[in-house]
Structure 1
Amino acid sequence: MFKGFLTLRPSCEVCGLDYSFADPADGPAFFVICFACIPSVALAVWLEVAFEAPYWVHAFTTLPFMLLTCIPPLRPLKGWLVASQYFYKAEEGKLVRLETPRNDDLHPHSA
């Protein structure tokens, strides 16, 4: 499914499914920010408030924690979003304009 860390292949090597329909865009990053970055920042703030930790403590605790909770989930989340787009047959959004009713259609018995 992937060519490199996050780049999608043009098609599946096993079944030949064309991945041109897939556009996960920034979806994986959004989920990582919501579920991984917020706890990482909370850890950093807690360390600072509770212990007045020096910068080197943050460098050896918060930074690795943030990297370990943010980078590994990106690939599975991107795969999940592509699979979800395939399952739900997602397409690019389209605007549908409804025809505005004429006056005659609004009050058919007034004439």
Structure 2
Amino acid sequence: MALFTEDVHVSDGITGAVIASSKEQLKPRYVERFRASPVNCELLGRLVCGNVVVDREIITGLPDGGVADCLATYVCDLAAGKIQRITFVWKPRTEGVKL
């Protein structure tokens, strides 16, 4: 949680739904996903342009053994050295899809 600004804004890139609008709102979600469950996020690739970082990830350990492909876009506050905005675009992986 130390990586995020206090007012970090997290949203779904497809629907625009707000997932969290502060670090306080984000923390329970991250605890549930990454400490209380077997969910794992593997970084497959990264692009950086100034203060914007785009990660290509694969998410495993989802309910019922699910796997998802994800693009995560992070906008960083370079002066603070923290992430201030995150947008996730993800889709459950179906059989036959290759990396």
Indicate the TM-score class for this superposition, using the shorter chain for normalisation. Answer: under 0.3
Structure of larger gyration radius: 1
- Kindly indicate whether structure 1 or structure 2 has the higher relative contact order, using CA contacts under 8 Å at least 6 residues apart: 1
Higher strand proportion (structure 1 or 2): 2
Higher helix proportion (structure 1 or 2): 1
TM-score by length of 1: 0.20
